[in-house]
Amino acid sequence: MVRVLRGNHQGLAIVVVGLALSAVAGCSGGVIDRGGEPMVMSDSPELVAEATDFGDWSLPAEGKVLLVRREKPEDLRYNLVLETSPSGLAWMLEHSHYTAPFKKWMPVSPVETIAGPPLATSPNLQKAQDFFTSPEGDAMIRDVLVDERSPELRIIHIEFRGQ
């Protein structure tokens, strides 16, 4: 039954109806499902191919993928971590058409990664970012963080964030 209030009670009625609607909308426990898939982490060839296809990225033959993570909040996001040599890194950047300049990077707080040793133990970190539109028209940010672990080992942390 709906009761119409007159006079000074109209504002109160609007507030009560608003609160009732808010309570009904919140019955699902406060979780908002935007239709996204849950996070997936794997080093499977299928997920590696999905991530590299999305970012229009080429991996060096001698590179070893440590882990890939896919998240699908409002915009699709992939994280990929791999080990390679300095020449493998150069090949990968060239074949991925990645020309953003790298700068020495020092995190101001601990940075969580999906694989590899802690960044705080790295002797040298280099970071770059570009804005990229894939041939399919997907606009994204491509972040690349290079952990120069030793003269012959680079641990590469890549993130593709859809826009």
With respect to residue 4, please indicate whether it lies within any of the assigned structural domains: no
Identify the pLDDT of residue 138.
86
With respect to residue 1, please indicate whether it lies within any of the assigned structural domains: no
**pTM of the predicted structure, to 2 decimals:** 0.76
Task: At 106, list the tokens.
Answer: 């020092």
How many folded domains does the chain comprise? Answer: 1
CATH number of the domain at 62, please.
3.40.1000
Host H or E run for residue 18? helix 10-25
With respect to residue 6, please indicate whether it lies within any of the assigned structural domains: no
With respect to residue 10, please indicate whether it lies within any of the assigned structural domains: no
Long-range contacts of 105-108 (CB under 8 A, 24+ apart): 105/145
With respect to residue 16, please indicate whether it lies within any of the assigned structural domains: no
pLDDT tens digits, 109-150: 888 899 999 999 999 999 999 999 988 888 999 999 999 999
Contacts with 70 (C-beta within 8 Å, 6 or more apart), sequence order: 37, 39, 40, 41, 47, 50, 51, 76, 77, 78
With respect to residue 21, please indicate whether it lies within any of the assigned structural domains: no
Identify the pLDDT of residue 95.
98
Tell me the C-alpha distance between 77 and 56, whole Å.
14
The CA–CA distances, whole Å, from 41 to 48, 78, 108, 121 equal 10, 10, 27, 24
Percent of the chain with pLDDT over 70: 77
* Band (13; pLDDT cuts 50, 70, 90): very low
With respect to residue 33, please indicate whether it lies within any of the assigned structural domains: no
Contacts with 120 (C-beta within 8 Å, 6 or more apart), sequence order: 107, 110
Cβ atoms of 105 and 122 within 8 Å: the answer is no
With respect to residue 18, please indicate whether it lies within any of the assigned structural domains: no
- Domain containing 134 equals 40-162
